[in-house]
Structure 1
Amino acid sequence: MAFLMVVLGVVLVLCICSALLRWNEVRYRKKGLPPGTMGWPVFGETTEFLKQGPNFMKNQRARYGSFFKSHILGCPTIVSMDPELNRYILMNEAKGLVPGYPRSMLDILGKCNIAAVHGSTHKYMRGALLSLISPTMIRDQLLAKTDEFIRSHLSNWDDQIINIQEKTKEIALCSSLKQIAGIESSSMFQPFMTEFFKLVLGTLSLPINFPGTNYRRGFQARKNIIAMLRQLIEERRTSQETHQDMLGSLMRSDENRYELTDEEIIDLIITIVYSGYETVSTTSMMAVKYLHDHPGALEEVRKEHLAIRERKRPEDPIDWNDLKSMRFTRAVIFETSRLATIVNGVLRKTTKDMELNGFVIPKGWRIYVYTREINYDPFLYPEPFTFNPWRWLDKSLESQGYFFIFGGGTRLCPGKELGIAEVSTFLHYLVTRYRWEEIGGDKLLKFPRVEAPNGLHIRVSSY
């Protein structure tokens, strides 16, 4: 009897699951939509997407083609894996294809986050951001601060075993805070870092506000970070001191024509830290790995940087002209970003019913412009799975129409050159001071983030 009850229970559960899956498919079976599957109610196919990543995408493309529907991160979503169509989507924001980041990301990064706004609001928020991180600002202010910080941070690595993943995260985050908050950054770094890591995890999660979920922890971390930044802003207003950093510039309306509210300033600061932190830290970590695995490329980088040091006294920082001369280093950064695929794609949202690729996409649906596969297209990149920085010495490759490593259209990453400057400075002091070898054979994951779950450990010795 007990066995029969168990069998009936299993059959009942299977019937309910089948009914839920069927109901969710019927719910999204609108005329004109591309083929695909929608998974479970609420959860959709998020679990499969986050766990299987590129394999999930390849399997769906094999079944439905390069343009299919799904339901990921809480949103009904169209996935586009077609290079021509991706280029069109990225270049046509004005035609109703605005940023469409999932609710978890928008809630945690803020409604004034530059990725969330569009139209005139995006124009002035982007203008405010560019006023802080333009090439002129990099040349005149930011590069010197970056050099001073990274030079100091890498001063005592000799004869150490370093978790390079942990160190590059610390460097990227601490460097950003120093640029933003100057002298106050040291005192707030540890509590900020603790909350910030929770915030990062929450941005790629289902927006389920239950205790213990990454979304709940990320949203609470945002509140704590806002409290820290509000306190810092109030303290500065009370003291009336002049501060030569990003926050000081944003608070001085006489110098900055973009008069932002405190809410906009805080969301802009969170944007700067969030967008720079992951790309800079991961690119730095993976460049260390790829250079270790390819001694010829490492020797070429080292030769470039030793030539720069030969023109200087030991205490001299690198300057703008030095940075512009780092052609091979720039190529290493591009090749690292391409091969590791640090950014898999971008999200857009339709503001009206619209036709794309012969299908009708309803208003409010997300479109995931999945650019990962372009990085491994053998027609664009011969031997695409080979680390070959020399390919980027051909400048035309950087300007070709399918170069989406830093986004595209009006949403081209505004911090691209600052990020390149930070990674270049890190590599400069690493290769001119040290040799290193990997220890432990640490595992790397490539999706949804590039990370080493147990760290990436290297043994460092002086050069």
Structure 2
Amino acid sequence: MEVVGMVGLVLGVGICVGLALLMKWNAMRYRRKGLPPGSMGLPFFGETAKFLTQGPTFVKMQRARYGNFFKTHIFGCPTVICMDPGVNRYILLNEGKGLVAGYPPSMRNIIGNKNIAAVHGATHKYIRGSLLSLIAPPVIKDHLLQHVDGLMRSFLHNWDGKTIDIQDKTSEMALLVSYKQMLEIEPALLYEAFKPEFDKLVIGTLAMPINLPGTNYYFGFQGRKNVLKMLRKVIAERRASSATHNDMLGDLLSKEDPKHSLLSDEEILDQIITILYSGYETVSKTTMMSIKYLHDNPKALQQLREEHLAIRKGKNPEDPIRWTEYKSMTFTRAVILETSRLATIVNGVLRETTNDIEVNGYVIPKGWRIYVYTRETNYDPLQYPEPFTFNPWRWLDKSLESQNYCFLFGAGNRVCPGKELGIVKISMFLHHLVTRYRWEEVGDAEIAKFPRVEAPKGLHIKITKY
């Protein structure tokens, strides 16, 4: 037993020494004049595990040690994390000057190398134009608003007396609505097969980049592979048919529309995944957290409900919401913006350097990532007094949404193109929820806010008729 214990001790010491030497060697690899201070962790893995598991705590510890601008190694890439609002704004507004969109290869491989957030230059311009032709405000006004309103009315039908996990319901809603907009007429069986594979894809986007069976990253790859297989089959069937399809995929496949005729099949597929992914994660989590915050803030809930009951006054139950009525939902928009800020649904965005560039007095080498970490800006008391208080009334000042350091939807020429459609979806969900139901939380829900917002054990609510 003593011999076994001694061997175990020697092995343990050997592993610790080996890891320390690897970390020292990795730090020396990235020791270059002009780089910001920081630590790089282990070769290949870097500090990804710490970043994913400790999240804001890890980032704050590094800031306390190195300042607002420090180097690390996450998601397989040497990365500089920037927490300075002024520098972040400069980075976001200066794409093309040595900076482009910078998803790490691990994430691009799952979402797609031709998605709007991964391309730049002329390719980004025509893909963004194609995407905006599907989801821009004029299209929402003329076509999508009524469609989303009808889907939400149907989705929230017959909830009275039920106890539900609102996390599951908002996730189901977000994907279903985006899917129906993209593939309106496809059979229900396709959606039932599609959803679990798409769920795998989503989980894989924020995972350690280890493509081995059993890992989330591997499941993400498998999810993408199966999603693409289903989409290619639908595209082939549509091209073989002379039927007209009045949905987003029908528009993307149209050869008469110059905005879409230049798209390759790979670009079309990645456009589909982009629309589904962006509408899924942000819409579902913002909706869930708005329901949580409204439950905890009765005054805000009452004002929101009064806004929507005023819209319903004089309407029949099946009458749709008009564009002017949507635009009158000023407090609803304020609730959505405050939820996005307080819950921090999106923690930041990545940029990649296309050549050695100087930022904040440091030289960042070509091929590095800069993580524009906007989370802390959301809690800056100079920007948002009492930043940890849910206060949607602050957003009734219209100038707040356009102020220099509001990064909720990005900045520059990469402001989220789906911003308005996302707000429409959440607004329509809340409209039908608060005008038809009340709700109470069941049990105490734990909310995790990093690397993604979620309730690990669910967020259960009991629904009663209003």
TM surpasses 0.5:
yes
Contact preservation (8 Å) 2:295, 2:440:
yes
**Conservation of the 8 A alpha-carbon contact between 1:104 and 1:202:** no
Distance 1:9 1:194 in 2: 42
**Where does residue 410 of structure 2 map in the other structure?**
407
Aligned equivalent of 2:430? 427
Shift of the 257–16 alpha-carbon distance from structure 1 to 2, 3 Å rule, reads closer
SS at match of 2:259: coil
The answer as to whether partners of 2:126 and 2:259 remain within 8 angstroms in 1 is no
Offset from partner CA, 1:162-218 (integer Å, 9 cap, x none)? 100000000000000100011216332111110011001111123222111111111
Deviation at 1:73, TM superposition (A): 1.0
Deviations 1:86-123 (A, max 9, x none): 00000000101101111121001111111110000000
Tell me the distance in 2 between the aligned counterparts of 1:285 and 1:251: 34
Query: Which of 345, 351, 362 matches 2:354?
Result: 351
Q: State whether structure 2 residue 33 is matched by structure 1 residue 57.
A: no
Determine if contact 2:98/2:356 at 8 Å carries over to the other structure: no
Moved more, 122-131 or 217-226: 217-226
Q: Is the 8 A contact 2:251 2:260 kept in 1?
A: no
**Residue of 207, 224, 228 corresponding to 2:209:** 207
In the alignment, is the contact (CA less than 8 A) between 1:178 and 1:185 conserved in 2? no
Helix, strand or coil: the match of 2:184? helix
| Equivalenced residues, count | 463
Change (3 A) 1:332 1:85: same
Q: Which residue of 1 aligns with 2:372?
A: 369
In structure 2, relative to structure 1, the CA distance for the partners of 1:286 and 1:439 (3 Å cut) is same
Mapped to 2, the partners of 1:235 and 1:258 lie a distance apart of: 19
User: Which residue in the other structure is 2:68 paired with?
Assistant: 66
Which residue of the partner structure matches residue 336 of structure 2? 333
d(CA) in 1 for partners of 2:150, 2:372: 38
The alignment partner of 1:448 has SS state of coil
RMSD: 1.0
By how many angstroms is 1:237 displaced?
Answer: 1.4
- Secondary structure of 1:115's counterpart equals coil
Match of 2:264 in 1: 261
Structural mapping, 1:78-93, within 5 Å: 78-93=80-95
Cα deviation digits, residues 246-295 of structure 1 (max 9, x gap): 01111112134331122111110000000111000001000000000000
Distance 1:11 1:226 in 2: 47
Partner in structure 2 of residue 398 of structure 1: 401
Alignment of 1:160-179 (within 5 A): 160-179=162-181
- The one-letter code matched in structure 2 to 1:288 is I
Structure 2 distance, partners of 1:133, 1:269, is: 12
Structure 1 match to 2:440 = 437
**Contact map agreement 1:249 1:256 (CA 8 A) in 2:** no
1:220 corresponds in structure 2 to 222
- Which amino acid counterpart does residue 332 of structure 1 have in structure 2? V
Other structure's SS at 2:222 match: helix
Q: CA deviation at 1:317?
A: 1.0
2: CA distance, partners of 1:257 / 1:341: 33
1:245 pairs with one of 237, 243, 247: 247
CA contact (8 A) 2:44 2:76 kept: yes
Q: What does residue 15 of structure 2 align with? A: 13
Structure 2 partner of 1:278: 281
Give the equivalent residue in structure 2 for 1:461. 464
Equivalent residue, structure 1, for 2:47: 45
Question: Partner letter of residue 73 of structure 2?
Answer: H
* Superimposed CA distance per residue, residues 131-159 of structure 1 (whole angstroms, 9 cap, x where no aligned partner): 00011110111111111111011011100
Rounded Cα–Cα distance in structure 2 between residues aligned with 1:281 and 1:101: 22
**255-264 or 428-437: bigger deviation:** 255-264
Taking the aligned partners of 1:397 and 1:407, their CA distance within structure 2 comes to: 14
Q: Is the contact between residue 101 and residue 120 of structure 2 (CA under 8 Å) also seen in structure 1?
A: yes
CA distance in structure 1 between the aligned counterparts of 2:397 and 2:330, rounded to whole angstroms: 10
Bigger mean CA deviation after superposition, 16-25 or 2-11: 2-11
Paired residue type of 1:168: T
Displacement of 1:10: 2.3
Contact 1:339 1:385 in 2 (8 A): yes
Note the residue ranges of structure 1 that are not aligned, 5 or more in a row: none
Instruction: Using the TM superposition, give the Cα deviation of residue 238 of structure 1 relative to its aligned residue in structure 2, in angstroms.
Output: 1.5
Match of 1:110 among 100, 112, 117: 112
Q: Is the CA contact 2:40–2:73 (under 8 Å) kept in the aligned structure 1?
A: yes
Q: Determine if contact 1:103/1:207 at 8 Å carries over to the other structure.
A: no
Q: Separation in 2 of the partners of 1:126 and 1:311? A: 40
Distance in 1 of aligned mates of 2:311 and 2:225: 45
Q: Which residue pairs with 1:379 in the alignment?
A: 382
**CA–CA distance in structure 1, aligned partners of residues 9 and 328 of structure 2:** 72
SS of residue in 1 equivalent to 2:439 = strand
The answer (yes or no) to whether the contact 1:177–1:185 under 8 Å persists in 2 is no
Tell which deviates more after alignment, 105-114 or 9-18.
9-18
Where 2:73 maps in the other structure, the secondary structure is strand
Conserved? CA contact 2:129–2:259, under 8 Å: no
Whole-angstrom distance in 2 between the partners of 1:225 and 1:241? 23
Q: How far apart, in 1, do the equivalents of 2:182 and 2:52 lie?
A: 33
Long gaps (5+) in structure 2: none
Distance 2:342 2:187 in 1: 34
